[in-house]
Amino acid sequence: MAKKLLAEAFGTFWLVFGGCGSAAIAANFPYQTGADIAPGNPFGLGFLGVALAFGLTVVTMAYAIGHISGCHLNPAVSFGLWASGRMKGSDLLPYIGAQVAGGVLAGGFIKLVVAGGPAFQLVMAGSNPLATNGWGAHSPGGYGFWAALVVELVLTFFFLLVIIGATDRLAPVGFAGAAIGLALALIHMISIPVTNTSVNPARSTGVALWVGGEAVGQLWLFWLAPIAGALLAGWFYRNVLSSETN
């Protein structure tokens, strides 16, 4: 268990640092505009680059630690796998604790790196400092609460369907990491303008705690919606799609 928790902490660090770090450090380089992520900036990563960065973190970690911990990197994933019968309930809290710890450590590391460059005030003054999540004034596209709630719940539901299906005993062997990483990239392509994309409470918490204020005040939704979507997906797959007799 100790090795599993260490793998989850390091893997979640990599996800948050790679994904949120790309948004905070590289998406807007060379910092020509006040936008958090400038899709029209020819030098920065833009939305597409950030989406791919999140997907690549999952692909790389899936093959690095998947055989150790299952490479959850996300409390919602752990809840969904538990609901599908793939994870023991006694492992839930330790996994979630390790994931949040890795995410918070990564958020602090991103802030430390950004503070050492010329864009610190730009990154921290935007609507999504350190790539935090939110709705209303903290939505990159100005989307409201209900849009944020629905998109986070629905996208997490489908994310878990991909994860559970791709790792099913009847699924093609060796391709799960690629399918899951591509799914996460697609999810970001859809929802960055809406909530800056969470589908992962550890990712949201990891940066929000270093920003404070409304980033923390709105954090509850990015726990509630992803976990609800994941639980629904786990139940649905186990009772409707699974080939195993329950």
pLDDT in tens, 2-47: 999 999 999 999 999 999 999 888 776 655 444 455 444 555 678 8
Q: pLDDT tens across 36-95, in order?
A: 554 445 556 788 889 999 999 999 999 999 999 999 999 999 999 999 999 999 999 999
Q: Which amino acid is located at 200 in the chain? A: N
- Residue 15 φ then ψ, to 5°: -65, -50
Q: Is the pLDDT of residue 109 over 80?
A: yes
Amino acid letter, 84: S
Rounded CA-CA distance 127/120 in Å is: 14
Question: Model confidence over 199-233: pLDDT tens digits?
Answer: 999 999 999 999 999 999 999 999 999 999 999 99
Q: What is the mean pLDDT of residues 110-119?
A: 82
Q: Residue 143's pLDDT is what?
A: 96
| Residues belonging to the chain | 246
The closest alpha carbon to 28, from 148, 129, 142, belongs to: 129
User: Would you state the CATH architecture of domain 2-241?
Assistant: Up-down Bundle (1.20)
Mean pLDDT of 140-160: 97
Tokens of 212: 């404070």
Instruction: Look at residue 246 and tell me whether its pLDDT is greater than 80.
Output: no
